[in-house]
Amino acid sequence: MEGFEQFAAIQIEVFYWWCIAIMLQIHAGFLTLEVGISRVKNVLATALKNIMTLAVVLPAFYFVGWWIYNAFPDGLIPRMSEAALAALPWSENMGPNITDHASGVFWGAFALFAATTASILSGVLIERVRLSGFLILADILGSVIWNLAASWGWHGEGWFLTQFGYHDVAAAGVIHAIAGFFALGVVINLGPRIGKYTGDGKIVNILPHNLPSTLLGLMLIYVGFFGFLGGCIIAVTNGEWMTIYGNPTNLSAFVFNALMGLAGGLIGAYLGSKGEPFWVASGGLAGVISVGSGLDLYHPALAFVIAVIGGLMCPFIGNFLERKGIDDPVGAITVHGFIGIWSVLAVGIFASGYPNINGPEISFIGQLVCAAVVILLGFLPGYWTSLLLKKLNMLRIPKQAEMLGIDLTEIPATAFPEGIPSTQENGRLKMIMSKSKTS
């Protein structure tokens, strides 16, 4: 029996190992998506920002983020429980231990959740944010704010669950909505890209330089999402599976509803945008997020309907925000923020009365209250932190650098030295032509 349990523990370790590896494709997807949306003069800066997100969030999550998740399920006062002590960086659980097959892979899965949360912020700010300012914001979001939200709402003893019966099995609220509303707070202080609006407030459509790259990036995110969803399920050594809240489930439930959510979101966004490719592809992601909170509960037909509604809403919400002066080139505030909240509320609408093991039954009021807390927990730190960075001149790049392109002014490399000229090469060509005309 002891040998079987050890074998099962190793199998669980391998399962989460591959979930982590697949989740890294989310970051490849965000990079590809954002590079496609960016203009040629900013593609390297955009790519570097995505790579550096992993570089700063992962160690910050190791030193403080994992402890925050384990220490704050009761609110803002930490509990020094065994789990919290084991999450401190000097604990024997936080390093190589041949008798421990769980701590490292669980930490790794949550570390990738943290990095994903920060990467959602990245695309909203492209082409105008300082790298240093962004990395500060990414660290705060990925290693403090998200961890509080997860401790409250994505923990078997979190107060969202124990007091309100909160259900958010695939973290549509505590990851996606948190990141979306944090980003909304930041972009209010950051402002739109130069040229996005005319002097009288009319919208100027700044086109992606490579729309196929953007669509490919979204497809990569779809793939990475299956690692993300796998990391949202708890495997136990008796061969059973359960949610983060302790309710029984399995991967089959997740697969049915994730794929139906993907299809429903694509169809909804196609109808809502009249076939605009960017919103259609974004709608697939919105569909999976729409069903995320109740991924373990829905009948697949219901999941499909919920996802169609989520996808249908996306272009309308995105266009509304754009008219209000919110310049979000990748639509992340819409797809992650507002659709994340729709996902949380949908559980209250369609699964009200479903029992929880560790708290009250699911209710619409409970989901609504927790959704409101999620919005505030995301928006307020994003707004006030970015306002401080703005006052310190650490938020936005200088106007001239933005107009010339961040690659030309800050990156010691050229994205397209042959074929399609970069901004830098264009400048050189113009200088040569000017000299030839005068000679």
| Average pLDDT of span 202-229 | 95
What pLDDT is stored for residue 437 in this prediction? Answer: 47
Find the radius of gyration of the CA atoms of the chain: 22
- pLDDT the model gives residue 432: 41
* Predicted confidence (pLDDT) at residue 430 exceeds the cutoff of 70: no
**What are the chain's domains?**
2-403 (1.10.3430.10)
* Residue 439 confidence (pLDDT): 41
CA-CA distance, 176 to 285, in Å (whole number)?
Answer: 11
Query: By mean pLDDT, which of 383-387, 413-417, 426-430 is the weakest?
Result: 426-430
pLDDT exceeds 70 at position 99: yes
> Partners of 222 in the beta sheet?
none
The pLDDT of residue 358? 84
- Alpha-carbon span 160 to 371, nearest angstrom: 10
Per-residue pLDDT, 414:
84
pLDDT the model gives residue 7: 52
Please choose, from the candidates 67, 69, 114, 109, the residue with its C-alpha nearest in 3D space to the C-alpha of residue 90. 67
> pLDDT by residue (tens digit) across 295-330?
999 999 999 999 999 999 999 999 999 999 999 999
Q: How confident is the model at residue 4 (pLDDT cuts 50, 70, 90)?
A: very low
Q: What's the half-sphere exposure (Cβ side, CA atoms, 13 Å) at 337?
A: 26
* 12, pLDDT greater than 90: no
Enumerate residues 6+ apart whose C-beta is below 8 A from 236: 242
Sheet holding 234-235, edge to edge: 234-235, 241-242, 248-249
| pLDDT band with cut points at 50, 70 and 90 for residue 415 | confident
CB 128 within 8 A of CB 396: yes
- Alpha helix locations (H) across 38-102? 43-60, 66-71, 82-86
- pLDDT for 1: 45
